[in-house]
Amino acid sequence: MSAVPAIERGRYAEVDALLFTTTDSAGGRSDELERMIRSVERAIATSGLRVVQYLLLQRHDAGRPLPELPDYIRATAIPERVSLSRARNLLLDRAHTDGVFERSLMVAFPDDDAWYPAGTLEGILALFAGDSALDLAICRYASSPSVLSDLPVDLRVARAVKAGRFVANASSNTIFIRAARAAQTGHFDEALGIGAPINGGEDLDYALRAYVGSAGKAVWIDAPLVGHRDRLKWVRGQYYAGSLYALSRSAAASRAVALQTARKVLVGFYLLLRRELACSDFLRALRLALKARRSAPARS
């Protein structure tokens, strides 16, 4: 384990950070998106980072001009609303068409209402630049996030992350992936996520596929280095089926993930007893999990 190194001024790759974000133009969250943009602009201005951020504007009228955005953002607008998985896949396709993955060091998927405190992007990028074997880095998020340089030394340490910690904290806002690993991981599963047939689980599924594919070459920083509204406990039941599906699909490739899958089933019983999960929804989640397990590739 090692402390997060200080960033050197300059670029680690032609593109240091490749970001993917989607927003609802008719959703009234322009202030939150502006906060995200300002946080990235600060990292660019203070540390000389080269960032490319792909932004999908959903429910954006065809005749309406795009908003004025910084040069590092490549925006696309569509008139309809699509699922979160579909939105990210549209952005991934554009980045592949542009040939950006081959020229990038790190990939992240920040929500439009997330933001990066000073030093977060720089510190995470330094981890990837300092260890060519590292594929993933993960942290926590909070509505009052921490500034990396203000943390005690022991909380700035990047440690190897076990499956349980990874599963508990994997989200679009907290996972950072080496661009080459992200390219190999592929697309988000469009059967999962908000607006998809199975509600939730798309972030965890993508993160777990990257984690299993990397053979555990991942580190954990036990600090909220990303700003985002705090986790809501009531969504546990709402997104349970998607999370169990994601775990079940990767369980065949990892004993550690298989243990987390079994734990998730027990959590389902707990939510059932607390009436946070309906019996019909629990049974559906179990059926979907079995389907995911049967369709998953076997452990190599």
Q: What is the pLDDT of residue 7?
A: 46
Joined together, the tokens standing for residue 255 give 């004993």
| Model pLDDT, residue 1 | 45
How far is residue 116's CA from residue 113's CA, in Å, rounded to a whole number? 11
* Domains: count for the chain: 2
Per residue in 91-110, pLDDT tens? 999 999 999 999 999 999 99
Both 203 and 82 in a single domain?
yes
> Domain range holding 66?
2-231
Q: Are 215 and 260 part of one and the same domain?
A: no
The chain-wide mean pLDDT, for the chain, equals 89
Judgement on whether residues 145 and 283 belong to the same structural domain of the protein? no
Q: What is the pLDDT of residue 116?
A: 97
Who contacts 93 (Cβ-Cβ below 8 Å, separation ≥6)?
none
Do 254 and 214 belong together in one domain? no
Interacting residues of 300 by C-beta distance below 8 A, sequence separation 6+: 253
Q: Does one domain contain both 189 and 258?
A: no
Same domain, 163 and 25: yes
Shared domain check, 238 and 271? yes
- Predicted TM-score (pTM) of the model is 0.90
**Residues 295, 197 within the same domain:** no
Among 250, 244, 264, 242, which Cα is nearest to 198's?
242
Phi, psi of 124 (to 5 degrees): -65, -45
Looking at the fold, whether 152 and 100 belong to one and the same domain comes out as yes
Residues 6+ apart with CB under 8 A from 293: 248, 249, 251, 252
Q: 154: domain CATH number?
A: 3.90.550.10
Task: Tell me what pLDDT residue 32 has.
Answer: 92
pLDDT range class, residue 153, cuts 50, 70, 90 = confident
Q: What is the pLDDT of residues 163-188, one digit of tens each?
A: 999 999 999 999 999 999 999 999 99
Please check whether residues 21 and 34 belong to one and the same domain: yes
